[in-house]
Chain A
Amino acid sequence: MNVLAYMVPLALLLGLAALFGFMWTLKNGQYDDVEGSAHRILSDDDVKK
């Protein structure tokens, strides 16, 4: 029981971190062009030298 008292909230915190990650990607517009992103990752010239 004791172990649950901190393991469960810890698990929830991890879940929350994922939720915030999702919100961040949403805010960054990462779902605006799903098709383009799939191809963009293959081209490496967007790195400014």
Chain B
Amino acid sequence: MAEQLDLSLYVKRADDGAARMDLAIEGITCAACLDDIERGLARVPGVAHARLNLTTHRLAVTWDETRLRPADIVAALKSIGYGAYPFEQRRVEAEEEARAAWLLKCLGVAAFASMNIMLLSVSVWSGNVSGITQETRDFFHWCSALIALPAAAYAGQPFFTSAMAAIRSGRLNMDVPISLGVLLALGMSVYETLNHAEHAYFDSAVMLLLFLLAGRYLDQAMRRKTRAAAGNLAALKGEAATRLGVDEAGAETLTIVPVAALQAGDRVLVRPGERVPADALVLAGKSHLDESLITGETDRRAIEPGAQVYAGSVNFDGALTLRVTAAASGSLIDEVGRLLETAGEARTRYMRLADRAARLYAPVVHVTALLTCVGWLIVGATLHDALITAIAVLIITCPCALALAVPAVQVVASGALFRAGVYLNSPEAIEKLAEVDVAVFDKTGTLTLPEPRVANAADIAPDLLAMAARLALSSHHPLAAAVARASGRAMPFAEAVETAGQGVEAMVDGEAARLGSAAFCGGDDDAGETAAGASSLWFAHAGRSARLLVRQTLRVDARAVIDDLRAQGLEIHILSGDRAGAVEPVARALGVDAWRGGLKPQEKIAAIEALKQKGKRVLMVGDGLNDAPALAAAHCSLSPITAVDMAQGQADAIFLGEKLAPVAQAVDIARRARALMRQNLWLAVVYNFIAVPLAIAGYVTPLVAAAAMSGSSVLVTLNALRLRAHAIKTPSETSAAPSDAAALTLAERTTR
């Protein structure tokens, strides 16, 4: 039974019959890789075209399907040293890309318009001093109107549509005063031009759009970059499944397919050490499953035919044949789904800082403008003059700085988070993250590493451990995989032989080296007490032997990060689905008193709700399916990249890597960002305090308006950039080498 790789799911066909596939490429380090990959593929017969996008690390290949299979392309890339993962663009990503193109078009139009109008306006301003004729000024104003009106109609769309949507749903957002300001400025300018007046505000209106569009585009570009990187990661960790089929001759076939290609009813084979690819029923085979990603429980569950298994669990000993079920069902999945529905409702009510500011700001501004008009009428001005002054107030207060205050910081902050290995899922994540005062951690896979490690590595002779790790590479057993991780990259031994259920054996330096069960290696299994949750393996070579304890270990910097978060004023809780006996040592090692074990999903929610009742804002960090509802219920949530899809979907941000440090960094960066946002909003308010009295008094000429607006916008942007200076410092502060105490494994801590 030869195994074939089937990637047909990802192949798209063009009209001319050529096949096309997008691949996420791993291992691109420099620009030279671009030539490497494109030339390398061009040499493969049948490949029509290959183009690498160096920004997103994605490759688009078109080829002749009669001459080449998609798997050959992946193999060709592998042979030149790059990992390639077929990839399907997610819908959100395609939408964001379309929106980015649209914003860029609007930005281009606004830039063209504002530059040309400014050219005309500067001429008018200098002309007003040096003596310009009435008709020249009118001509310039009409030219400005000719550019400004269509340009604003086009480039203003992002603001107008959003403002309309807000008004229709009875809310006020920042786009409402912006749209109002732009429309009034344009309307008044046309009216004034008709009356041969001295002042027109075409430049202010269009420049406002230009600044705001630039801010919005940058904000969006940063989000797109994060999303693309996250998409690549998803492709990279996209797993394959072994599908069982029957060919024409009636013989069994094995096909390796991407998990996304699995359909209900498919039969799949899951070997020991592999992950269950989809929710399924067990048809044949007996095994133990590690379901820590699902329930947080670290003890393995015995599986027999007829049992329901969930995607993400790891098969431990026996090979299983499964039938994929259509919709995931089973008590746990149903319960999680139901809890998610209710828990998700609360979070849509969150109101962003900028919108809260707009809600306060808009009425104040509009009342001020009204009072100005009424005031001037009382003093005895004509209706025309009073209206013009009132509109000037609205123009000068049009919240350019206010609208840039938050996005400018957001761009810099998401960039800093991106570098720290934190990818934002939701746009309000930064603000919410900055507000948290309690951090709730899940244990399994969050505080501990997702895969088990050798816990007593420090007690074993280094050369013996290195040899064991090399030997372990030849085994598929999950415990062996943990041993293999104990040393860096190594080549497997050439002629290693695996005996199922026993261990692996190879000849090293003329002597047999064995890794496996106690009996297989001639060890004594009774030597030493096996701590709960740990499994032991033996290694023997040339008369020496070692006992390797394999268990879940804490992330190396867990203690340091917990201490750091505490120093930042956060209260730390641990809520785990694992049994209390397994949670307690972790809590003790981390110095956390508020811990609970054996919790069901709804109990996790209840615990979070109880904290909320006390007025706390909760940050939930978790990775399991059982954490998903709690992630949705919390004020803000983070998931490691290894989390199940359902949890990742609920999390506000995803963090990468084996360290926990990104969590502390994220809170730190978010807090600094929020402080800067507030500062920026105050800057905008101070600007208004200066500008509004001038406008009320009637001193605001178009020149003053232009200078004040661009001045305040530049000021808030520069202030936002201060975060960058801070953010560059943070990694060295928080990810400093963990103290020795934190680096100790859990096993060593508990035995003290």
**Chain A, 1-38, contact with B by CB distance < 8 Å: what is the 0/1 string?**
10011001101100110110011001000011111101
Chain B residue, CB-CB nearest to A45: B39
Asked whether B54 is an interface residue with its Cβ less than 8 Å from the other chain, the reply is: yes
Q: Tell whether, in the assembled complex, residue A32 and residue B105 are in contact, meaning their CB atoms are under 8 Å apart.
A: no
- Contact present for B54 and A33 (CB under 8 Å): yes
Asked whether any CB of chain A lies closer than 8 Å to the CB of B283, the reply is no
Are B120 and A36 neighbours in the complex by a CB distance under 8 Å?
no
A8-B143, A15-B116 in contact; A39/B31 too (CB < 8 A)? Answer: yes
Chain A, residue nearest B56 (CB): A33
- Which residues, 106 to 159 on B, are CB-close (under 8 Å) to A? 108-109, 112, 115-116, 119-120, 133, 135-136, 139-140, 143, 147
Is B540 an interface position by the 8 A CB rule?
no
Contacts of B143 on A, CB cut-off 8 Å?
8-9, 12
In angstroms, Cα B139 to Cα A4, docked, is 9
The answer to whether B112 and A26 touch across the interface, beta carbons within 8 angstroms, is no
Are A35 and B54 in touch, CB under 8 angstroms?
yes
Name the A residues within 8 Å of B105 (CB-CB).
23, 26
Taking a contact as CB atoms under 8 Å apart, the answer to whether B54 and A39 are in contact is yes
Partner of B119, one of A9, A11, A22, A40: A11
- The answer on a CB contact under 8 Å between B147 and A36 is no
The answer on a CB contact under 8 Å between A36 and B136 is no
Nearest residue, chain A, Cβ from B42:
A45
| Contact between A39 and B34, CB atoms less than 8 A apart | yes
In the bound complex, what is the Cα–Cα distance between A28 and B108 (angstroms)? Answer: 15
The residues of A that contact B54 with a CB separation of less than 8 Å are 33, 35-36, 39
Query: Among A19, A38, A39, which residue has its beta carbon within 8 angstroms of that of B108?
Result: A19
Whether B524 sits at the interface, judged by CB under 8 Å, is no
Complex CA gap A35/B56 in Å reads 9
Select A35's contact among B55, B109, B115, B133, beta carbons within 8 Å. B55
Please, how many angstroms separate the alpha-carbon atoms of A26 and B104 in the complex?
8
> Which B446-471 residues sit within 8 Å CB-CB of chain A?
none
**A12-B147 CB under 8 A given contacts A18-B112, A19-B109, A26-B105:** yes
| Cα(A11)–Cα(B120), bound, Å | 11
- List of A residues within 8 angstroms of B112 by Cβ: 15-16, 18-19, 22
- Picked from B39, B104, B120, B133, the residue with its CB within 8 Å of the CB of A1 is B133
CB distance from A27 to the nearest CB of B (A): 9
Bound state CA distance, A15 and B215, in angstroms?
A: 23
> Would you give the shortest CB distance from A30 to chain B, in whole angstroms?
11
**Residue B52 is within 8 A (CB to CB) of chain A in the complex:** yes
Across the interface, name the chain A residue whose C-beta is closest to B54: A36
Structural contact, A1 and B136, CB atoms closer than 8 A: yes
Contact residue range for chain A? 20 to 34
Tell me the bound Cα distance from A4 to B240 in angstroms: 70
Contacts of B31 in A (CB 8 A): 35, 38-39
User: How many contacts A-B (CB < 8 Å)?
Assistant: 56
CB distance from B95 to the nearest CB of A (A): 16
Shortest Cβ distance from A28 into chain B, in angstroms?
Answer: 12
B99 to chain A, nearest CB (A): 13
Q: Output the least CB separation between A47 and chain B (Å).
A: 13
B143 to chain A, nearest CB (A): 6
Contacts of A26 in B (CB 8 A): 101, 104-105, 108
Contact B108 A43 (CB under 8 A): no
Whether a CB of chain A sits under 8 angstroms from the CB of B4 is no
Decide yes or no whether B53 CB sits under 8 A from chain A: yes
Interface pair B135/A1, CB less than 8 Å apart: yes
Whether, in the assembled complex, B525 has its beta carbon less than 8 Å from a beta carbon of chain A, the answer is no
B603 at the interface (CB under 8 A from A): no
| 0 or 1 for each of B41-76: is its CB under 8 Å from A? (1 = yes) | 000000000001111100000000000000000000
Task: Give the Cβ gap from B524 to chain A, nearest Cβ, in Å.
Answer: 59
**Is B104 a contact partner of A12 (Cβ separation < 8 A)?**
no
A10–B119 Cα distance when bound, in Å, is 13
Instruction: Write the chain B residue with the least CB distance to A15.
Output: B116
Residue picked from B112, B115, B133, B143, most chain A C-beta under 10 Å: B112
Q: What is the chain A residue whose CB lies nearest that of B33?
A: A39
B34 close to A40 (CB less than 8 A):
yes
Closest-by-CB residue of B relative to A46 is B38
> Which chain A positions have C-beta within 8 A of B252?
none
A26 to B108, CA, bound (A): 10
CB distance from A36 to the nearest CB of B (A): 3
Shortest Cβ gap from B337 to chain A (Å): 38
Interface string of B80-116 (1 = CB under 8 A from A): 0000000000000000000001001100110010011
Q: Interface digits, B266-287 against A, CB 8 Å rule (1 contact, 0 not)? A: 0000000000000000000000
Asked if B115 and A32 make an inter-chain contact with CB atoms under 8 angstroms apart, the answer reads: no
Residue B35, interface by CB 8 Å: yes
Q: How far is the CB of B137 from chain A (nearest CB, A)?
A: 11
Which of chain B's residues have a CB closer than 8 A to the CB of A12?
A: 116, 143, 147
A20–B139 alpha-carbon span in the complex (Å): 25
Contacts of A5 in B (CB 8 A): 139
Are A4 and B56 in contact, CB atoms less than 8 angstroms apart? Answer: no
Alpha-carbon distance between A22 and B119 when the two chains are bound, in angstroms: 20
Chain B stretch 626-657: residues in CB contact (< 8 A) with chain A:
none
When C-beta atoms are compared, the residue in chain A nearest to B151 turns out to be: A19
Chain B residues with a Cβ under 8 A of chain A? 31, 34-35, 39, 52-56, 101, 104-105, 108-109, 112, 115-116, 119-120, 133, 135-136, 139-140, 143, 147
A to B CB contacts below 8 Å, 7 in the list: A5-B139, A9-B143, A32-B55, A33-B53, A34-B55, A36-B55, A40-B34
12 A-B pairs besides A33-B53, A36-B53, A39-B34 with CB distance below 8 A are A1-B135, A1-B136, A11-B119, A15-B112, A15-B116, A22-B108, A33-B56, A34-B55, A35-B54, A36-B34, A39-B54, A40-B34
